């Protein structure tokens, strides 16, 4: 039998507080029929408001969820309630009913098919002629983009302030055609820079970083291997997950899940999950992608810690990683934090290795909240050093802290610290 998760882990999988509360209301054995579990899954039927019972099934390996109810939340309250019953030990073992076995078998078949497609794509990508053609195409595209950058600066940034979105969108489309997708995404984002005082300076900084990337790629053969890997990744060359798991450096630690943030671009939702090693103090980023409305893997819940091996992608500042192997179930745990000065030193060292870093994870403790003369919110540590906070709605964070010191996690960006979660001595973890 698979190790049963504790209630805190299960509650952490709920999409919001309302779903968690609703799940608690139906997490009663009397509300369920046909419950059962084995080493891979949990299933059961819950009587709803209609004639037919809702059938819920959870694949514990990811986890993944299925329920026949019409809820658009994921996981729904029935799936969370069923897991709560399983966590409490009230769901016994037994054979899978046909409807659960069919869904689980379909998932395994899809996973096998996806693995085969990835293997085929990886084999094609390793073909020397294919790789050579890709390099030439990217090189030609970046040479054209280099000229575009010089034209922007030559013509002056005053014109750019009133330029339409298509100025950057057209340049990004040409980079996509040249198979430099990651660089294209950075160019497309330039149109969203807020037109505030100092905007030309910010735009010029971004242009300078882009030109640095272009020049680095053009001189890639002279770069150290780790920096060359970083440059290729920033341009758009990907490393297959199989290669990372097989050859990437592995680090085992008790990894705290310190924050999570979703962003949508081009009909694709990207989830960034930030981790920090308890022993190593090392940060890590686990990325996942899904089409709008599709569920994400909910295994890495904010506020939990898991003993695992992470396999890191190559680069001068290894940050992105894959969970290679788990050594036990996740458990609630608060991460240790640093002072503002220690965090800034860490970020400066990372930036020296990878000048194109646009965000870096922070865990600060203990910090209190304070406002500056213009009303801006800051996180202030025990030494009096502070970082500006980016938050359109600060009330949840203010209510959680209540004037007391908290542990605060977030993403550090050129504009400030975007708060993601806070740990309070009495309230525990609160996702912001």
Q: What is the chain's pLDDT, residue by residue, as a tens digit (432 residues)?
A: 456 787 877 887 787 778 888 998 899 999 999 999 988 899 999 987 777 889 999 988 777 888 999 887 878 999 999 999 998 888 988 899 999 999 988 888 777 665 656 655 555 556 677 788 889 999 999 999 999 999 999 888 877 777 788 888 899 999 999 999 999 999 988 888 877 788 888 899 999 999 999 999 999 999 999 999 999 999 999 888 888 998 889 999 999 999 998 887 666 778 899 999 999 999 999 998 876 556 666 778 889 899 999 999 999 999 999 999 998 888 888 999 999 999 999 999 999 999 999 999 999 999 999 988 887 899 999 999 999 998 767 888 888 888 889 999 999 998 889 999 999 887 788 888
**Same domain for 88 and 160?**
no
**Same domain for 47 and 95?**
yes
Whole-number pLDDT of residue 1: 40
Contacts of 53 (CB under 8 A, 6+ apart): 33, 45, 46, 47
**Same domain for 352 and 312?**
no
Domain extent, residue 288, equals 241-332
Q: Are strands 54-59 and 41-46 parallel, antiparallel or unpaired?
A: antiparallel
Residue 116 lies in a domain: no
Q: Could you say which of 188, 209, 235 is where a domain stops?
A: 235
**Same domain for 319 and 357?**
no
Kindly state the tokens that stand for 347.
């970020």
Q: Answer yes or no: are the C-beta atoms of 432 and 419 closer than 8 Å.
A: yes
**Same domain for 132 and 230?**
yes
DSSP state, 97? P
**Same domain for 25 and 95?**
yes
Three state DSSP letters for 386-410: EEEEECCCCHHHHHHHCCCCEEEEE
Residue 2 lies in a domain: no
Type and span of the H or E element at 54:
strand 54-59
Whole-number pLDDT of residue 323: 92
Kindly state the tokens that stand for 130.
């294919």
**Same domain for 414 and 375?**
yes
Using alpha carbons only, give the angle 114, 120, 126 rounded to the nearest 5 degrees. Answer: 135
Whole-number pLDDT of residue 118: 60
In angstroms, the CA 143 to CA 75 distance is: 47
**Same domain for 196 and 154?**
yes
Q: Could you say which of 109, 141, 168 is where a domain stops?
A: 109
Q: CA–CA distance from 61 to each of 40, 326, 382 (Å)?
A: 6, 11, 42
Residue 29 lies in a domain: yes
Q: How many domains does the chain have?
A: 4
Residue 423 lies in a domain: yes
Residue 118 lies in a domain: no
Residue 122 lies in a domain: no
- What CATH number should be reported for the domain holding residue 254? 2.40.50
Q: CA–CA distance from 323 to each of 36, 72, 273, 407, 426 (Å)?
A: 28, 28, 12, 25, 31
Residue 123 lies in a domain: no
Residue 105 lies in a domain: yes
Strand partners, 134: none
**Same domain for 270 and 346?**
no
Whole-number pLDDT of residue 157: 82
**Same domain for 282 and 185?**
no
In angstroms, the CA 424 to CA 432 distance is: 13
Using DSSP, state whether 270 is helix, strand or coil.
strand
Q: Are strands 406-413 and 416-424 parallel, antiparallel or unpaired?
A: antiparallel
**Same domain for 294 and 363?**
no
Q: Could you say which of 235, 256, 288 is where a domain stops?
A: 235
**Same domain for 365 and 318?**
no
Contacts of 59 (CB under 8 A, 6+ apart): 40, 41, 65, 104, 107
In angstroms, the CA 373 to CA 10 distance is: 43
In angstroms, the CA 230 to CA 336 distance is: 29
């Amino acid at each position: 039998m698979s190790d049963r998760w504790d209630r805190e882990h299960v509650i952490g999988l709920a999409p919001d507080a309302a779903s968690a509360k609703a799940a608690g209301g139906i997490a009663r054995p009397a509300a369920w029929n046909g419950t059962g579990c084995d080493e891979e899954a949990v299933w059961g039927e819950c009587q709803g408001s209609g004639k037919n019972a809702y059938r819920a099934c959870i694949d514990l390996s990811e986890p993944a969820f299925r329920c026949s109810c019409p809820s658009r939340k994921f996981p729904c309250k029935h799936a969370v309630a069923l897991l709560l019953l399983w966590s409490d030990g009230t769901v016994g073992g037994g054979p899978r009913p046909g409807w659960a076995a069919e869904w689980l078998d379909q998932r395994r078949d899809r996973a096998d098919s996806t693995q085969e497609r990835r293997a085929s794509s990886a084999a094609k990508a390793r073909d020397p002629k294919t790789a050579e053609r890709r390099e030439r195409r990217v090189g030609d595209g970046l040479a054209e983009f280099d000229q575009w950058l010089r034209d922007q600066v030559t013509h002056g940034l005053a014109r750019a302030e009133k330029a339409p979105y298509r100025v950057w969108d057209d340049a990004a489309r040409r980079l996509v055609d040249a198979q430099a997708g990651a660089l294209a995404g950075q160019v497309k984002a330039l149109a969203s820079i807020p037109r505030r005082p100092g905007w030309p300076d910010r735009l010029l900084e971004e242009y300078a970083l882009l030109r640095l990337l272009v020049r680095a790629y053009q001189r890639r053969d002279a770069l150290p291997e780790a920096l060359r890997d970083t440059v290729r990744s920033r341009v758009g060359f990907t490393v297959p997950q199989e290669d990372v798991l097989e050859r990437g450096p592995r680090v085992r630690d008790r990894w705290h899940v310190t924050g999570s943030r979703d962003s949508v671009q081009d009909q694709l939702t990207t989830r960034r999950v930030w981790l920090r090693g308890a022993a190593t103090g090392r940060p890590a980023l686990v990325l996942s992608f899904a089409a709008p409305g599709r569920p994400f893997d909910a295994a890495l819940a904010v506020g939990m810690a898991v003993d695992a091996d992470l396999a890191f992608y190559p680069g001068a500042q290894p940050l992105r990683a894959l969970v290679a192997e788990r050594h036990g179930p996740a458990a609630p745990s608060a991460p240790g934090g640093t002072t503002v000065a220690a965090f800034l030193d860490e970020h400066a060292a990372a930036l020296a290795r990878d000048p194109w870093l646009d965000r870096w994870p922070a865990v600060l403790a203990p910090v209190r909240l304070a406002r500056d003369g213009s009303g801006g919110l800051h996180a202030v540590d025990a030494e009096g050093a502070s970082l500006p906070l980016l938050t359109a709605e600060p009330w949840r964070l203010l209510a959680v802290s209540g004037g007391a010191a908290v542990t605060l996690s977030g993403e550090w960006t050129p504009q400030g610290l975007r708060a993601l979660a806070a740990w309070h001595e009495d309230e525990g973890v609160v996702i912001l």
